[in-house]
Amino acid sequence: MSAISPRHPHETPLSDEEEKRQRRVNCKIDAALLPLLSLLYLFNGLDRGNIGNAQTQGFTHDIGVEPDDLNFAVSLFFVTFVLLQPFSAAVGQWLGPTRWIPLIMICWGVLTLAQAFIKGRAALITTRLLIGAFEAGFYPTATGYLATFYSPYDLARRLGMFYGQYAVAGAFSGAISFAIFQIHHPSLKSWQMLFIIEGTLTCVVALIAWAWLPAGLQSAWFLTEEERKLALERLPETASSLSSSSARLTARDFIETAKDWKLWFVLVFNICASVPSTAFSVFLPLVVEGMGYSSLQANLMSVPPFICGAAGLYMFAASSDAHRERGYHIVAGILLSLVGLVTIVTTATGIAKYIGLCIFLSGSYVAPLLTVAWLSNNTPAPGKRFLVIGVNGWGNLAGVIGSLLFRQEYAPAYRTPFFATLGFVAAALGGYLAYRFTLRAVNARRAAIGRGKSESEREVEEMDEVRYADRKWTFVYGL
């Protein structure tokens, strides 16, 4: 398979009429699912990062803790958030995404609201641990759910629209925080109003999702019977079963996930690449404040870098699907991040650093999103796919690294954290290149095996359960 494949190896060429029908089905699925799921992820990002906005209004001072306690609490958030992702994804697969997602959203929404009334270090740590625990299952469950509705190379741009809300959440958080902080309540601090409003809205949209989202393609109320059949037929054979709510995990799914060297290899470099996006979801307003802006201005000025991040993500995701290629797109995003980082650490003026920040974030969200699409495309077994996406969520361990780097002692310039981030991103560049070259070598070896086989032997390999899913020599990895 070449770097830019004309079609996914499991797809057959479509006529113009079939392409038209496929586009019509995609448009209907897009309209029914993407706006709501994107809104859900927006609130996931808001409730994760609004503590950074609250800090610009004296949050830690008012609850009686030190600024470094905030960094510690944020790092602990990522501990539960990361460790529980595969387990929460497994529960989501067992219970059903359309039940699990609203349930965990209501739980973390209530906890976000409760943050408005906490006092002391213990309460801060407890709420962040619990919010992390409930948010853990959202992303892997939602992305696994989306993968059951789209063919492999229709997926990345949809995931881009979905994952882009993580960056949009940063922009929206800065804008809504700026607006809320103008409200003067007689008995509540401005940061308390922020937690109350955003926590309440999270619970409201969770209830809407409970009523709106279908369990899968077979119960997609917005498609006709013919369209449901067409949508099911275009999925890889092993994936189509997941469109039914009856799909369940097996012991072999767990074993094969644990044995998959590709997952663990790419996870290391996904962590490195995710340091910027996870750190700045919380600390960007404080970094911008260190560039010479007031606390209120910092919330507003954090909007453009996040918008750049969302725009960059959308463009890279669309190009990745259009060219049916993942690896070099990830590398290009990392290179863009490196350009921004070098600009930040080598310039002296606030304006130049701010421009560098915008360039930096333009590429920072690309690798985490396209890694999910890449792994999803290359994991045909539906149960294993849920687990792989969940384990890949351990890439959010980068949030622990980020919270330990961007500490108050390095303010206002944060030079040491930026240099450390530069090192992590550079390591990710080398790792992703090595990963892509390795997959290409595996494909070449399998192609050599296939050249000596008959069509009947190929059919036996496809049907035989001895080698599992992508371990078959007939399976070609997407690059």
Range of 102-106, 143-147, 161-165, 461-465 with top mean pLDDT? 102-106
Predicted local distance difference test score (pLDDT) of residue 408:
80
Predicted local distance difference test score (pLDDT) of residue 170:
67
Rounded-to-integer distance, Cα 227 and Cα 217, Å: 9
Predicted local distance difference test score (pLDDT) of residue 247:
54
Predicted local distance difference test score (pLDDT) of residue 248:
66
Predicted local distance difference test score (pLDDT) of residue 107:
97
Residue 259: count other Cβ atoms within 10 Å of its Cβ: 11
- Residue the block writes with tokens 């349930």: 103
pTM of the model: 0.75
Question: Which position has the higher pLDDT, 399 or 438?
Answer: 438
Query: Which of 97-101, 257-261, 427-431 has the least mean pLDDT?
Result: 257-261
- Checking if the pLDDT of 264 tops 80, the result is yes
Rounded-to-integer distance, Cα 61 and Cα 10, Å: 58
Question: Which position has the higher pLDDT, 159 or 266?
Answer: 266
Question: Which position has the higher pLDDT, 28 or 396?
Answer: 28
Q: Taking the mean position of all CA atoms in its chain, how far away is CA 237?
A: 26
Q: Which domains does the chain have, with CATH numbers?
A: 16-234+252-471 (1.20.1250.20)
- pLDDT tens-digit readout, 410-469: 878 888 988 999 999 999 999 999 999 999 999 999 888 888 788 887 777 777 776 777
Rounded-to-integer distance, Cα 167 and Cα 46, Å: 10
Predicted local distance difference test score (pLDDT) of residue 13:
62
Rounded-to-integer distance, Cα 292 and Cα 40, Å: 33
Rounded-to-integer distance, Cα 346 and Cα 70, Å: 29
Range of 167-181, 239-253, 312-326, 406-420 with top mean pLDDT? 312-326
Q: Which distant-in-sequence residues (6+ apart) come within 8 Å of 427 by Cβ? A: 269, 272
Range of 109-118, 175-184, 348-357 with top mean pLDDT? 109-118
**Residue 455, exposed/middle/buried by CB under 10 A (0-12, 13-18, 19+)?**
exposed
- pLDDT tens-digit readout, 373-396: 899 888 888 788 878 888 888 888
- Residue the block writes with tokens 């696994």: 144
Predicted local distance difference test score (pLDDT) of residue 8:
44
Which tokens is 355 given? 């421009």
Rounded-to-integer distance, Cα 325 and Cα 314, Å: 15
Predicted local distance difference test score (pLDDT) of residue 3:
36
Rounded-to-integer distance, Cα 352 and Cα 340, Å: 10
Question: Which position has the higher pLDDT, 154 or 116?
Answer: 116
CB 102 within 8 A of CB 416: no
Average pLDDT value for residue range 196-212: 95
Exposed e or buried b for every residue in 409-435, given b needs 16+ CB within 10 A?
A: ebeeebeebbebbbebbebbbebbbeb
Percentage, residues of the chain above pLDDT 90:
35
Query: Which of 157-166, 197-206, 376-385 has the least mean pLDDT?
Result: 157-166
